[in-house]
Structure 1
């Protein structure tokens, strides 16, 4: 736990030293792929504290997810890579599949209403607009004659 806290304190220094971002030419992708699973294991350990049926409620594990995100960012920057990058994103996506694959909500398939309902829903506002515009024009002409 102390090493993670040390890494998080190291992040601003790394950003300052690197001029705000890591140099892409010095990216050690192999080192990054070796380091990122540590973040995944730590996240899995933390997620064991949360009941499985609560995994789809972000408020139940937000702190753990933030630590996971910070960990992936720190580990990526330490090896000289920018964050996020395609390799880090695919790792994070794998973690999402592992823990949150059952969280997608089955939404009903939207269909257009039958024509008997759809035609009046379109025609009535169009006809009301035409009638109201006609009334305004008729009334404005009639007022000109009265004055």
Structure 2
């Protein structure tokens, strides 16, 4: 069931491309039309995001379906006017939507720092010394094959 749900947007994208002519027009990218169509995707995404409580807007699992729909919309609209996706203009539009909805979402990152030298030196020295000792034992043992340990 879950796999079928994931394939559905790609199927819709393919279906939309086939319904609107299959391939992008041969005339090339019509950036003006693209910039006229992309705000429709943004408006639909904004309408969907307004249904969420403000505190849920930074939790990806709460709006991932809306965001996938938004992404598919921008891809379809960009391809319909003969442009490739993503492109710098579409990315600029998507970045604007990100700034509008996710500017207050901060990521708490753990600040990593090295342990103190008193801990770090033994953590490095012990494996190195054990490796040297084991190599020495193997060499010593290989020179005396007739004796047991």
Same fold (TM over 0.5): yes
* TM-score band, normalised by shorter chain: 0.7 to 0.9
- Residue 50 of structure 1 pairs with residue 52 of structure 2: yes
- TM-score, normalised to structure 2, is 0.79
Structure 1 runs of 4+ aligned residues shifted over 4 Å read none
TM superposition score normalised by structure 1: 0.80
Q: 1:137 is matched with which residue?
A: 139
Correspondence for 2:29: 27
In structure 2, C-alpha distance between the alignment counterparts of 1:141 and 1:23, rounded to whole Å:
77
Give the whole-Å Cα distance in 1 for the aligned partners of 2:142 and 2:72.
67
Report the alpha carbon displacement of residue 131 of structure 1 after superposing the two structures with TM.
0.6
Once the two structures are superposed, the pairs formed by residues 106-125 of structure 1 within 5 Å of their partners are 106-125=108-127
Structure 2 unaligned blocks of 5 or more = 1-11
Q: In 2 relative to 1, CA 24–79 (structure 1 residues): closer, same or farther, beyond 3 Å? A: same
- For these two proteins, the number of residue pairs brought into alignment is 136
State which of 11, 19, 27 in structure 1 corresponds to 2:17: 11
Are the structure 2 counterparts of residues 131 and 24 from structure 1 closer, same or farther at C-alpha, using a change threshold of 3 Å?
farther
What secondary structure, in the 3-state scheme, does the structure 2 residue paired with 1:143 have?
coil
What is the aligned partner in structure 1 of residue 8 from structure 2? none
- Find the aligned partners of 1:74 and 1:135 in 2 and give their Cα distance: 67
Q: Would the aligned equivalents of 1:36 and 1:72 in 2 still touch at CA under 8 Å?
A: yes
Q: Deviation of residue 12 (structure 1)?
A: 3.0
Superposed displacement of residue 41, structure 1: 1.0
C-alpha contact 2:25 2:81 (8 A) present in aligned 1: no
RMSD of aligned Cα (Å)? 2.3
Name the counterpart of 1:69: 71
